Structure 1
Amino acid sequence: MYCFDSAARQSRGRSARGLLGVTLAMLVLAPQASQAGSGEPAPFDRPQQAVVSPGVDAGHAHLPEVSSLATLVEMAWARSPQARQLEGAAREAQTQAEAAGAWFPAAPTVSLGQRSGSRPGQRPLREQEVAVQAPLWPLGQRSASQRSAELAQAYAGAAVVAHRLALTRQVRERVADLALADVRVRQARAHLADLEVLEADVKQRVRAGDQAESDALLVRQDVLLAQTEVRQAQLDQMEAEHAFHVLVGEARPPSDVSSERLESMLPPINEAELSLSVDEIRQRLSQHPAMLAAQAAAEQQAVRQDLLRRGASAPWELGLQHRRDQEADVNRITPSWGISVMIPLAADPDRRQAAVAAQTAADVAQAEARRLADQLETEWLEAQQGVRHQQAMLDHMQAASAAAQTRAHWIRKAYALGEMSLTERLRAELSWQQAASRVMQQRAWLAKARARLSYAQGAQ
């Protein structure tokens, strides 16, 4: 199996050595006074223009492009096996509510019978009998069943909302991963394009006898390493697109995952929400969809345990019989009515086993609810700090990028006047490119942090 992370680390190491090679190659270049005098821009004058937009994966080029968050979440919901399970649980809860509102805990039965014959020395007889047997609700069991059905419906509804919230978070994270992969591809292609321009210039100088053949070989080595970087970045991008398609299915990610696109997929966050106390966080977490689902599940299991404890024995059954005797030779009919009650004398072993299982399920549901409360609280606090730090890092990156751009502009002017070496200009332009790329990467990391905080807050 190919290891993307290991290859990415190797490519970053080769990138560092490649940049050193570019610097060494540029050290031997003479300042291009004629080019500066003619007003033509140098290869590194505008690093953003060297960026080539990433291509679309050929295997998914025929799919429609979807950029709406709501549409992507609906597509992920349609593909989720857990969503099908939750929808089935909702239907089961509705059926349970209907059964809890019935007159009897189980279906009544009707029996029909007829006998005919005669005894020695007696007239022939013909007997007909109709009997109805109906189970009875134990005391308090019907109300407990209705309460259990209500909690089952509440759990099903809350679980659906919680799963949609989790899918929303996953979609946002997948889009942010696509943005990160897109930035890496753009950066790698821009670096390769600049090296190819440099290689062409070095080859021209080698043919003119101004530089040695070893300089061309050194630049060629860096070009090959840069091509490897581009391929590795494309593999990482394909991996991010694959994860996106596994989640949402037949859809193509947005072709331009910009910072504005990421912002549009996230709910707004103000400073007050990043400064909530622990007590305020706990109060708001009590209304989190996942917490509501866990609480409803724990309460439902407790009611179910009490329900099975009350009904450890089989239910009583009330019977009503009607019998009609008819003597064949005299055509005389004698009707009679009867009533009966069937009372079980011992507990049903299956029901006792179900009661023990319900006790275990109730204990597990309560433990899961407590653990989920701690987990959501920890995730909220960590997400708060994560957003704060990522936002601060973005501010620093933007300031550093602006400073690098200004410095590159000044050094470009000084180089044109012959007051700065080519080495300094190369370093300044490379620093500007890297700073601009880090800003775009940091925006994607901030989007992932905000997606995590939105999930912890229960916000769609």
Structure 2
Amino acid sequence: MHFRHQTLSSALAMMASLACLSPLQAQTTGAQAPVISQSDAQHLTAAPSKLTLLTLLEAAWSRQPEAQSYTERLRAAESLRAASSAWTADSPAMLLQGKTDRPGSGAGSREVEVGVALPLWLPGQSQRATALSHAQILALQGSMKAQRLQLAGLVREGWWQTQRTQTELALAQTRVANAQQIALDVARRVKAGDLARADQHQAEGAVAQAESAVAEAQGAYEASLHALRGLTGLLDLSPDNLEATSEGDVSTPLPSADALASDAPSVDEHPLFAEAMAQQSMASAQADLAASSRRASPELTVLTTRSRGQTGDPYQQSITVGLRVPFGTGARADARQAEALAAAQEAQAMTLQMRARLQAQAASALARLRSAHTQWQATHRQAQLAQESKNFFDKSFRLGETDLPTRLRIEQEAVQAQKALSRARIDVSAAWSAWWQALGELPKP
């Protein structure tokens, strides 16, 4: 009995120290920081003192292969646009040939030709190639914006998942403290002879159950923290710098009923729709270029010839200008044009689908936001009632008017109500992020 009383006294001291800490401090006290190997740390960077959604997005975007290769891809597209503005369709070629009737000897007739072949544009081909290169640049820029928005969605999801698990861990630790307080009261009353030893076992079992919940919440929190670290590459993500900034909360006024028609940005301004439109324009430009490229480029040849008839004859100089015009390639050109037209039609259909999908996503996000706000109002009222009931039954239990099973049940109901309230509050903030994501908005500073 002395050993058990000493254990409960130690638990009471721990509970008192936890009560003086904030939820984040209590969380830090109750759990060790995740361990990072040296090889993983080489690919991670130090996090700023305080993090926001925007800083996380910037960190994650800097690690993306598309962001790292964007400059070179843009330079390649600019080079193609410069090439389409040149006055030749391709690089010139040099021609060099010699002819003699006595190989290996300096006697006899000789002829040497030196010239250049210049590939020429077909009618309208240069303008359409320029239009295609411009469309490729716009498509590349649109793709970068769309990928950045999609990455913002992953960052937002990871952020709010971390916030959920962080809050649930703090609530689980509070539950342990409350269970330990009940166990202390039970031990005191068992010692006084007011309760049976079985009641003490039941109270201590509730403490063990709460400690198990803490371990489970700790695992979920560390898993979400590792996922966010892997996405952003930030090394020292911790409760100290996970500042709970949001893009809207329970106090933010909800969008109006006609927000999708008036307040929200137009679908045409959405990065995903802009990307689809750029892809459609590029496919149309490719189809136009294919229509004007049904044959190979003609070649203008300019040759200078130096020749003599026999040994001792003076050399004669002449200039030859020629034009090489290939015939149409028939079925091959038809296949290329048909393929380009099919790609253009497919891009047009995808653009229409993208518009409908974005409109549906915006409507779904608005419905989710309204539902989350309604659930928060209900859980807020439920948590208030559960806390009042807990206070009533706690007082009656101390006076001996309520048995232990009832007291434990009321405590569990209060914990679950508080957990539901915290989750509902975060769900509202996450729904606001989903709303801005559906509208194509990136996190703000």
Superposed CA deviations along residues 56-94 of structure 1, whole A, max 9, x for unmatched, are: 533249873441333321221133345456666434422
Structure 2 residue corresponding to 1:57, chosen from 33, 45, 48:
33
Q: Alpha carbons of 1:408 and 1:226: their partners in 2 closer, same or farther (altered >3 Å)?
A: closer
Identity of aligned residues (%): 21
Q: 1 CA distance for matches of 2:70 and 2:430?
A: 27
Give the Å deviation of 1:245. 2.1
Q: 2 CA distance for matches of 1:81 and 1:128?
A: 54
Contact 1:267-1:454 at 8 Å conserved across structures: no
Contact 1:185-1:230 at 8 Å conserved across structures: yes
Q: 1 CA distance for matches of 2:388 and 2:199?
A: 31
Contact 1:129-1:322 at 8 Å conserved across structures: yes
- Matched residue type, 2:137: Q
Superposed CA deviations along residues 393-424 of structure 1, whole A, max 9, x for unmatched, are: 33443444455556656x38965995974778
Q: Alpha carbons of 1:219 and 1:416: their partners in 2 closer, same or farther (altered >3 Å)?
A: closer
Pairwise mapping of residues 56-455 of structure 1 onto structure 2 (< 5 A)?
A: 56-60=32-36, 64-66=46-48, 67-84=51-68, 89-117=73-101, 124-255=108-239, 261-263=244-246, 273-276=255-258, 279-280=261-262, 284-326=266-308, 329-330=311-312, 332-347=314-329, 351-402=333-384, 404-405=386-387, 411=392, 415=396, 421=402, 432-455=414-437
Find the residue that maps to 1:275 and give its secondary structure. Answer: coil
Q: 2 CA distance for matches of 1:405 and 1:360?
A: 65
Match in the other structure for 1:15: none
Contact 2:394-2:407 at 8 Å conserved across structures: no
Match in the other structure for 2:6: none
Gaps of 5+ in 1: 1-39
Match in the other structure for 2:4: none
Superposed CA deviations along residues 118-159 of structure 1, whole A, max 9, x for unmatched, are: 59xxx7333221121111111111111111111111111122
What TM-score do the two structures reach when normalised by structure 2? Answer: 0.80
- Matched residue type, 1:262: T
Find the residue that maps to 2:341 and give its secondary structure. Answer: helix
Q: Alpha carbons of 1:301 and 1:346: their partners in 2 closer, same or farther (altered >3 Å)?
A: same
Find the residue that maps to 1:131 and give its secondary structure. Answer: strand
- Matched residue type, 1:163: Q
Q: 1 CA distance for matches of 2:440 and 2:399?
A: 60
Q: 2 CA distance for matches of 1:85 and 1:262?
A: 31
Contact 2:119-2:299 at 8 Å conserved across structures: yes
Give the Å deviation of 1:209. 4.3
Give the Å deviation of 1:273. 4.4
Superposed CA deviations along residues 42-68 of structure 1, whole A, max 9, x for unmatched, are: x99x98979532435332498734413
Q: Alpha carbons of 1:255 and 1:50: their partners in 2 closer, same or farther (altered >3 Å)?
A: closer
Gaps of 5+ in 2: 1-11
Q: 2 CA distance for matches of 1:162 and 1:209?
A: 70
Q: 2 CA distance for matches of 1:308 and 1:281?
A: 43
Find the residue that maps to 1:286 and give its secondary structure. Answer: helix
Q: 2 CA distance for matches of 1:319 and 1:392?
A: 78
Q: Alpha carbons of 1:87 and 1:270: their partners in 2 closer, same or farther (altered >3 Å)?
A: farther
Contact 1:151-1:300 at 8 Å conserved across structures: yes
Q: Alpha carbons of 1:65 and 1:208: their partners in 2 closer, same or farther (altered >3 Å)?
A: farther
RMSD, matched Cα: 3.7
Match in the other structure for 1:35: none
What TM-score do the two structures reach when normalised by structure 1? Answer: 0.77
Give the Å deviation of 1:113. 2.3
Q: 2 CA distance for matches of 1:276 and 1:103?
A: 54
Q: 1 CA distance for matches of 2:441 and 2:211?
A: 43
Find the residue that maps to 1:147 and give its secondary structure. Answer: helix
Give the Å deviation of 1:230. 1.7
Give the Å deviation of 1:453. 1.0
Superposed CA deviations along residues 193-213 of structure 1, whole A, max 9, x for unmatched, are: 222333344345445544333
Contact 1:188-1:226 at 8 Å conserved across structures: yes
Give the Å deviation of 1:439. 2.9
Superposed CA deviations along residues 312-337 of structure 1, whole A, max 9, x for unmatched, are: 22111111111111467546221111
Of 392-401 and 414-423, more deviation after overlay is shown by 414-423
- Matched residue type, 1:310: S
Find the residue that maps to 2:91 and give its secondary structure. Answer: coil
